[in-house]
Amino acid sequence: IHSITTVSEVSVKAGDPIAIPCLYNLKFKDNEKCLCKGTGWPKCDYVVQTNKPDNSKQFSISDDQTQGIFTVTIHNPKDDGTSYWCAIEKSWSKDVKKRFELSVTTGMPSLHVDQQEITAFEGGSVTVECHSKNPKVTKWCRLDSSSCVLDQTGSIDGAKVTINRSVSNVFTVTMSGLKTENSGWYWCVKGKLQMPVHITVHELTSTTSTTSTTSTTISTNTATTLQTTTQNASLFTSEEPPRVQPSFSTVIGTGGESLQDKNKRSVLMITF
């Protein structure tokens, strides 16, 4: 990858926070990361750094050194006509930087999504609605691999991608058959505009159990025999299984009713 890869231009509504991912070469993982604000380099101001938080709370930054991506968030964007730079400080030579533009509007942005952070589970799917005034020429890409889908169907890193343009001014992206390695930053692309979306795919921690139960009546003086097959789970919600008292004889009929001995009025209930 290049030293830094990020968006070229993002359209955002004034006052709405926007997160921008900055992908970097892992050889810079221990360097300080920065967001610089200004029309030119190096005549720009470092507004937030990984070793120096922004006291005004207008900007924030986080660094994922495993993935090699630092994320800057502009919490209250304003239309001030300036540019921004994802930057990495280097003590031995010139800093590494990448410029991006923020197109701030008072109305609906030219390209936007309902939410930038989406979570899913392994084997599941996610749907992202990318809103655009003219979504005919659009694509869906992954930041750290430059893989893109332009047609109606395709795949990115093993996940199936479907793009639906049937709704006016919206192109809907669905990713299915997800795995944990599909976690990461993606973006909707329309011309020079990009809108970043972060997807987190969680590993499944439990399995669905399948249970079948058969009731067999032996006699009117014998308790019902339950033959139970269980896969990957216990049928009982309590720690101790239910106990059948031998002094009562209960038979569960086909309609679910209890037939009791003439001399006993108690009803035995077995709870699963």
**pTM (predicted TM-score):** 0.73
Residue 270 resides in a domain: no
User: Domain containing 240: what range?
Assistant: 211-260
Cα–Cα distance list, 109 to 100, 165, 195 (Å) = 16, 19, 10
- What residue has token string 């070469």? 25
CATH code (residue 60): 2.60.40.10
Residue at 268 is within a domain: no
Query: How far is residue 94 CA from its own chain's centroid?
Result: 36
Q: Is 100 found in the same domain as 2?
A: yes
Mark whether 174 and 190 lie in a shared domain.
yes
The three-class DSSP label of residue 130 is: strand
Final residue belonging to a domain, choices 188, 205, 222: 205
* Residue 59 and residue 123 in one domain: no
CA distance 1 to 78: 31
Instruction: Name the E strands within 33-158.
Output: 33-37, 45-49, 59-64, 69-74, 83-88, 96-105, 111-113, 117-121, 125-132, 139-142, 148-149, 153-156
Domain closes at, from 92, 108, 124? 108
Q: What is the mean pLDDT of each run of 10 residues along the chain (272 residues)?
A: 87 96 96 93 90 90 96 94 93 85 94 96 97 82 91 95 93 97 96 96 70 35 37 38 40 40 41 41
201 and 137 within one domain: yes
* Same domain, residue pair 99 and 28: yes
Q: For residue 100, give the nearest of 5, 34, 242, 25 by alpha carbon.
A: 5
Same domain, 78 and 147: no
Q: How far apart are CA 13 and CA 246, in angstroms?
A: 74
At residue 91, the pLDDT reads 79
Determine contact, residues 110/133, Cβ cutoff 8 Å: yes
Residues 118 and 100 in one domain: no
pLDDT, position 116: 98
Instruction: Give the tokens for residue 21.
Output: 């991912």
Q: What angle do CA 203, 204, 205 make, to 5 degrees?
A: 110
**Based on the domain organization, do 161 and 225 belong to the same domain?**
no
If asked whether residues 85 and 42 sit together in one domain, one would say yes
Provide the pLDDT for residue 221: 40
Tell whether 22 is covered by a domain.
yes
Percent helix, strand, coil in the chain, to 5, is 0, 45, 50
Q: How many domains does the chain have?
A: 3
